[in-house]
Amino acid sequence: MRLRGIRRSSNIEDRRRTSGQGGALGGLGIGGVLLVLAIGYFTGIDVTPLLNGAPTSSSSSTPRELSAQEQQAGAFTASVLATTEDVWADIFPAQVGRDYRPPVLVLFSGQTASPCGGASGATGPFYCPADRKAYLDTEFFATLEQRLGARGDFAAAYVVAHEVAHHVQNELGILGQVHQARQSSSQARANALTVRLELQADCLSGVWASKVDGLLDPGDIEEALNAARMIGDDHLQRQAGRVPQPHTFTHGTSEQRARWFATGYDSGQIAACDTFSTDRL
């Protein structure tokens, strides 16, 4: 993704100099780690106790210097976030009929706090509607590439765009409606609703990608599609040595995630991302 000359968003809250450091991954093998990451990935569920075998520790207040890699990751994230602000600021008046209010993105290292619960590198990035902020440990980019097999800078950009897509859903009132519906549903039904929510966010990420086409390098869209496939519920469960259990899915299959991203990319329209009205996910 060509970000040289692209502004950096000012809607960044960088806590990495004071965030607490995460613990080890306990006695879990790679399969167990992948499964637990699948639980936390893109959800906001704090799975740190599952990984560490202990409650999340408090953050350190001792300032530290950021490494060159962390500085680069922060600059990359701020520029990607800026592209989402520009894209959705154009789309909302045209397709929704009102202005877009962008989210704040919190960068942290190891652990931090949010109104939606503890945030850690183990949870993966997530969006908290309570404070309208997205949370990201930039070390997750390495996890994405090394553990989940989703390589390339546009795979990382897709992660940021996906969390912003959850904010778009919040702006449209969809997150609140799904939350209410989940409260009165069985676990299987609640999971099914969450799948539709996540697939819609994938589609909205594709809408964003269609509007930054001039910034894309050859192969970027395939990087995003590969990332979508690598984080499909069926793929992650197989990687963990388990037979996929569709009733436990909360994000959709690899095929579904890639297809809905492609749907948003090909259409460029929010209306094409109505995963709640279709019989075919």
Q: For 219-240, write each residue's pLDDT tens digit.
A: 999 999 999 999 999 998 998 8
- pLDDT tens for residues 42-61? 433 334 444 444 334 444 45
Identity of residue 39: I
Instruction: Give the phi and the psi of residue 267 in degrees, each rounded to 5.
Output: -95, -40
Nearest Cα neighbor of 41 from 176, 161, 159, 187 is: 159
Two tokens at 164?
A: 């912003």
Give 118's strand partners: 113
- pLDDT tens for residues 66-120? 999 999 999 999 999 999 999 999 999 999 999 999 999 999 998 888 998 877 7
Q: What is the pLDDT of residue 123?
A: 67
Q: What is the pLDDT of residue 54?
A: 38
- Mean pLDDT in the chain? 86
% the chain with pLDDT above 90: 69
Confidence band of 146 (pLDDT split at 50, 70, 90): confident
Q: What is the pLDDT of residue 122?
A: 66
- pLDDT tens for residues 24-43? 333 334 344 444 444 444 43
